[in-house]
Structure 1
Amino acid sequence: MKQIILLAALAALTNGDAQAQLGKFTNKVKNKLSQKVNQRVDNRVDKTLDDGLDVVEGKKSVETVTEKKETPGSASPKTSVKSYSKFDFVPGEKIIYADDFTGEEMGQLPLNWNTQGKAELVTLEAAKGNWLRLFPVASYLTSNKEPFTKNFTVEFDLLLSMENTGYSYPYFSFGLMSSGEDDAGDNKFLDGGYRKVQSAEVYLRLSSGGTTSTYMESYDRGARSFITESQQLSALEANYGKPVHFSIQVQESRLRVWVNAEKKFDLPKALPVTEIFNNLFFRTFSSSYKEDQLGFYIANLKIATGLPDTRHKLVEEGKFSTTGILFDVNAATIKPESAGVLKEIGETLVKHGELKVNIIGHTDSDGSDAANAELSKKRAEAVKKYLEENFKIEASRLSAEGKGDSEPVADNKTKEGKAQNRRVEFIKQ
């Protein structure tokens, strides 16, 4: 009996020790787990902070930031281009650079452009004309050789073909740069080198579901001198697969940017003024998408200098000539991005009710003399009709005629000359 009691006591004592040991082991596991979790959280936080600081300090570029997935099929439906009734962009007077890629070899990078990647000229079912397809990941410098002066405008069309497979879309950017004393197309200005002298860059954070955004930054002598907050740009994703018109106006340090009819930036002190800008660049970034799932296409580049004063030239000097009224190819259909110029002319005519004007259309030398004469007259008549209908200008105050290619103001052998000759003149009567 005593042996049984002793064994029971030993068993109870042994069981108590086991429970105590088990308790110690459990606490040890809990402590170890807590330490491990804290360590991993700390590591994640440290990595995120390091990545962010690397981007700020320029050790990493924007495209290396970790991507996040989006819901497949969440892209916004395509919609028509919004009204340009409030569009107030007016292009510069003298065209110093124009490239619609006419006459260039298809499937190749245009002559005198530069890149460290690849590009090819193509035609598209969704839009007329020749388009330059840009591929990830690369920078592209245009063939321009002329300084932009302190006051100038830039225009181009961008078409984005985006196939949503669930991953975040990449960034796309465009900007202005100065090469200082060097060639504006030199290799040193590729892959970030464009910031070494002076630059201004607009980033497009492409996305879906209404979350596309944009921001702008500028650099002076390699150091960032200005950066904006991000702004929503959902109108861009609503036009994936369609041409979108970008307009830029520079007045010394002031920068204004329009996307179609919408003014996204009006920044009085955004630009450095140490140097004169002399080239336009484009950049594509990395993503998890395959090459054939994304398409970046640009076309109809135009850079013009000067700040036209419509009222002064028309009312006081008696003549206003503009290349800012644009038409469809070989047609008299006015493009919506012409609204800014037409608005200035219309408002001038409304304010000066005594003013009578003859509208004269001009073309470049492509095509026959007879066809150009007829086309230019139809275009002048289209402008006359627009002013009558939209600004209620009496028909008796306006007349229209076409002179085709008979009175060129520039050399029709160059792209810039042809663009300058495709103009509409308003002559005070």
Structure 2
Amino acid sequence: MLNTDYKVENLKDLQEYINKLNPVDLAERFVELDDTELVIWIKLLNKGLLADTFAELPKDNKIKMIELLSDERIRDLIIKLDEDELVDTLQELPANMVRKMMTYLVADERRDKINELLGYPEDSVGSIMSVNFLSVMENENPRDALDKIRTSDLDASRLELIWITDSSLVLKGYAYLADIVRKEEGTIQECTYPITVSVYAKDDQELVAKLAYKYDLAEIPVTDSEGRLIGIVPAEWAIDVLHEEHEEDLANMHGIQDSSDEDDIYLNKSSFQIAKDRTMWLVICLVTASITGFIIHRYEAILAAHVILTAYIPMLMDSGGNAGSQSSTTVIRSLYAGEVNYKEILKVMFKELKIGFITGLALLAVNMIRMFVIDAPGLMVNLTVSITLLLTVMLSKVVGGMLPLIADKLKIDPTIMAGPLITTIVDTVALLIYFEVASILLGL
């Protein structure tokens, strides 16, 4: 635990301690500091570490820190921030702060590049890419590349991959620093690996995460329409995208529209805002549930003649919803991994139909035995419930596999289809099947 006694004799120990901390850990400490402590820690941190820590802070704490710093300290901070980190910060700040920083504190030579990055749509590759990378031309030799590396002011992590271009800056491949060192006397072509994939700046950032996962890439190159290298997205940033997309997918699958700041901690979020985020789908489900009520009302004669059928409605609806969710989750995972697409929708539907038949038969057998042993409702009621269970599971599997592919084709997040929507559709269909089977088998 840190000594918070800020006497002169303790400051040196504190400075030595905090300058060894990881920026992520420092950012967590910064959030807990009061204004006086924050100013002291800022003065004790070296400028590079302070910039890395600032980049990790939540929005409100960034604003607080800027308000505490002098213009000179803010200018020093901005110099240490990479373009992508600075853009992320500017996107979070109030408009008056952005105007001041862009007008007076950002160096002239960086302003055009910052404005260009700010112009990319939110959640696009361009909004997260870094323009800090090292490239060499394919007609240069490894010694030339090493000279550029030695004089580069990029972080070591940005020098592990060296990008190879032609004289028009069109991307041709990449080389590992270790290979360039080992083959210093050879040619750059001996060190060059071909480009596996690349992305455009206006592509959705989710594509970067998918490619990094599929091809196990350390960095994903970003090119313009003519193939010229304009930026990179490191794998660790792709992990951040995966985390964001995972949280978004979980919210969609459970019917939550999260409109609050992603940096907000659950306990610090407004209860009203959380309730608002959760209410939309609940209202939709409430309205659509009236359809099931209408169906039950329509077939009330069947229920009146065989009241016992009512007891099995929850089981049938839950089984259908669970079966549909399983299929949608599997298909969504396959979509993200690039294993399936909309063109294969018929194959997916047929496969899910077979899966539904197999799992449905297993459930049918278990259910028939359970009803005979525990409920003993009579053979025809048992058959009615069991056959409905089989048909419901089969149809739910098909619907669960089909809807995500349709959503992807329509440029809608497929995970929206994996939650309340599938459940609502399946509930309605399960009831229709149930009562129609009952009408046939029970002669009503």
Same fold (TM > 0.5):
no
Q: TM-score, normalised by structure 1?
A: 0.25
Q: TM-score, normalised by structure 2?
A: 0.24
Structure with more relative contact order (C-alpha pairs < 8 Å, separation 6 or more)? 1
More helix by share: 2
More strand by share: 1
